[in-house]
Chain A
Amino acid sequence: DTGVSQDPRHKITKRGQNVTFRCDPISEHNRLYWYRQTLGQGPEFLTYFQNEAQLEKSRLLSDRFSAERPKGSFSTLEIQRTEQGDSAMYLCASSLPGAGVEQYFGPGTRLTVT
């Protein structure tokens, strides 16, 4: 399978714990995006990387959230001191460079904070 993959698919954690998600993009794509989708909403942009550089961050990305893409390949999204409001689907997407080009999505990680 050469699509975007995400791990884990589901995560249940207790409030206050830290969680980390991984995204493996399509290999030739140098752009990688993270989105969050809450119930009844469309996906909301969190951050994006071009190669290993994090170029944009949404104001939604509080200081408890950190994303990395150390070698310009896979990426991790960490949430520290999780809160119930962090419960959401976290989607990763990748694309070739260029404005408006198609983004290819992974299946997402469903986070539930109890």
Chain B
Amino acid sequence: ILNVEQSPQSLHVQEGDSTNFTCSFPSSNFYALHWYRWETAKSPEALFVMTLNGDEKKKGRISATLNTKEGYSYLYIKGSQPEDSATYLCALSKGNQFYFGTGTSLTVIP
């Protein structure tokens, strides 16, 4: 079992603020790091897959970075909007298994 940790557990921000969260994982035997957004009553939606140290991915106002040597990934949201409110999960994949963190619950206040 791999220990994947996310912080903070929850976050409330004002509309328009930028925010970021952290995913920490064991740096050895790394294969791929995944970010998902999970809105209430919907399916978790894949945001990014990153495999290489130094990877940076961007989708609209959301971006992510990866540091495999020190074992962390950051997810950034620029100019948060109410529709960004969701739980953001990261998962480390090793072989055929995914190891999920507990998620960061983001609430964007209009």
Contact (A91, B96) CB under 8 Å given A99-B31, A100-B49? no
Question: Chain A interface mostly helix, strand, loop or mixed?
Answer: loop
Chain B residue numbers with a CB within 8 Å of A25 are none
Residue B62 lies at the interface, judged by CB distance under 8 Å to chain A:
no
Which residues in window 31-82 of B have CB below 8 A to A?
A: 31-32, 34, 36, 41-46, 49, 51
Residue of A nearest to B49 (CB): A102
Q: Select one of A41, A56, A100 contacting B93, CB under 8 A.
A: A100
Known: A107-B41, A107-B42. A45 touches B49 (CB 8 A): no
Contact of A99 among B43, B44, B96, B102 (CB under 8 A): B96
Within 8 Å CB of B49, what residues of A? 100-102
Range, interface on chain A:
20 to 34
* Complexed CA–CA distance, A38 and B43 (Å): 16
* Nearest CB of A to B36, in Å: 8
**B-contacting residues, A88-114, CB 8 Å:** 91, 99-108
A1-51 contacts to B, CB under 8 A, are 3-4, 31, 33, 35, 40-45, 48
Contact of A100 among B4, B32, B100 (CB under 8 A): B32
Inter-chain CA distance A41–B43, complex, in Å, is 16
Q: Are B102 and A55 in contact (CB under 8 A)?
A: no
Interchain CA distance A56-B94 in the complex, whole Å? 13
Q: For the complex, give the distance between the alpha carbons of A43 and B51 in Å.
A: 21
A contact set with B: CB distance below 8 Å? 3-4, 31, 33, 35, 40-45, 48, 55-56, 91, 99-108
Binding site for A on B (CB under 8 A): 4, 6, 31-32, 34, 36, 41-46, 49, 51, 89, 91, 93-103
